Amino acid sequence: MRSRRQPSLTLRSTVAFSMVAMLAVAGAGFYLYQTMKASVLVYSDHAVMGRLEHFRKLLHYELAIEKLRDSPQIFKNMLDSEDDIFIIEEPGQQPVIHVNPLNVTLPELPVIGQDTKLSVSDLRSGVTDSGTMLRAATVVTTSGGREVRLTAAHLMGKEMAMLAAYRERIYLAVALAFLATALLGYLVLRRGLRPLRRMAAHAAAITPERLHSRMDSADTPVELQQLSDAYNAMLDRLSQGYQRLTQFSADLAHEIRTPVGSLMGHCQVALRQRRSEDDYQALIASNLEELERISRIVESILFLARADETQAVVERQKLSLHDESQRIAEYFEGLAEERQMTFQITGDGNVLADPLLLRRALSNLVANAIRYAHEGTEILMRIMETHNGARIEVENQGPVLSNETLGKLFDRFYRGDASRHQNSDSYGLGLAIVVAIMQLHEGHVRVEQPKPGIIRFSLSFPAA
């Protein structure tokens, strides 16, 4: 089943930015709307309160209820809104003034005493049949010694219409903010992600023949600079690995071709004429040597392959480097005596290592020293504790090597001179195997030439 294609980063980022902009504008609009609504309500409440306070004082101090009863129209004309409600009445009698043009039914209102100062909390809200909100209150006063009740209400039709228009503008602003952010965000992101598209196009064009090509980081944004550098570094590693693999394949073919060619030549010569039994035995013995050589090459290559893929099993044990060095020196004592060479072992230290792998690494270094050091010299095996583990150094006196040669000693199948092709059981893989063993132990190996003619290999192990 074909998997569903995920939306692009540009689209997802555009939608995300647009949603953020829309929410920000909506939040600001909601806050401003609520602020305006509260201000409108406060203004309306104060208008109702001001009207009641004004007429309460007017009736109490200046205008008698009898005069008002005789001329109600004069008082009605003092009202500034034709939709507002204003009622003046004596308890138990018909209202003296009754202004309610829309015949609105008022909510139940508490009566505020004459000596009580009117506050916003004394006002009550209501809704007309048409859905218009109102604010109302009732107060008591005296006029000519008589108790009079004043009821005032303000219908907020104009205010609600203004708030409704403001809401529509907020909705429009939110929609425009989303669309504008989506359009501008898409254009900006398309331009901002251009280096990624160039990187993708560059990666798609990489082939084994174009591993030398690199990304130009001159105009790369700071946020992508690290990615660009890592990408170029990856190409460097791939190029180097591909070159090593190509060289390794060529060297392997050369190494295998030599013994196979020798086997074929011996067999062809033997088949040209009848041979004696001794001749056939000699041929078989010679062919067996070549087969053993091929077997050793194959075994070394398989070990390196398992080490590269971390498939080799490392059974760590606490080992004494001095004891292991002594064991290796005793094993190679006969070969060393043939070249009048001696061993000197100094120091001690413990490591956690696989015994067989550790002995193989030391054997390869010692065999290398015996093979290429000057006759009659001494092989020094120096062991020391370090702040983060232990180190063993194998030092010998031999020919002066160039820095280029030192850098290639650990390459597979590398042999710096013709003498390395003769009488060698490692076939240029011995030091490469040492590197693989140290990698399996999370350590490292290095070679240096502290002074001309002195070659020193060092194996560093992590703390036990």
pLDDT above 70 for 85: yes
* Res. 424: pLDDT tops 60: no
Q: How far is it, in rounded angstroms, from Cα 432 to Cα 381?
A: 20
pLDDT at 379 over 90: yes
Q: What is the DSSP letter of 207?
A: -
Mapping DSSP onto H, E and C, the string for 342-406 reads EEEEECCCEEEECHHHHHHHHHHHHHHHHHHCCCCCEEEEEEEEECCEEEEEEEEECCCCCHHHH
Work out the burial of residue 69: count CB atoms within 10 Å of its CB; fewer than 13 is exposed, 13-18 middle, 19 or more buried: middle
Decide if pLDDT at 120 tops 80.
yes
Residue 335, Cβ neighbours under 10 Å: how many? Answer: 13
In the chain, what are the domain boundaries? 9-164, 222-308, 317-462
- pLDDT at 419 (0 to 100): 46
Q: Could you tell me if 252 and 301 are in contact, meaning their C-beta atoms sit under 8 angstroms apart?
A: yes
Taking residues 43-62, report their average pLDDT: 84
Distance CA 15, CA 405 (A): 59
Nearest to 445 by CA among 365, 378, 366, 354: 365
Query: Could you tell me the pLDDT band of residue 381, with boundaries at 50, 70 and 90?
Result: very high
Q: Choose from 39-48, 62-71, 234-243 the range with maximum mean pLDDT.
A: 39-48
Share of the chain above pLDDT 70, in %: 86
Helices (H), 62-156: 65-70, 72-76
8 Å CB contact between 176 and 26:
no
For the segment 43-65, the average pLDDT, to the nearest whole number, is 83
pTM confidence score: 0.48
CA atoms within 13 A of residue 427's CA, in its CB half-sphere = 19
pLDDT higher than threshold 80 for residue 74: no
Q: Is the pLDDT at 326 greater than 90, yes or no? A: yes
CATH class of 222-308: mainly alpha
CA separation for the pair 252, 273 (Å, rounded): 33
Topology adopted by domain 317-462? Heat Shock Protein 90 (3.30.565)
| Pairwise CA distance, residues 240 & 247, whole Å | 10
Dist CA 194 CA 220 (whole Å): 9
User: What DSSP character marks residue 187?
Assistant: H
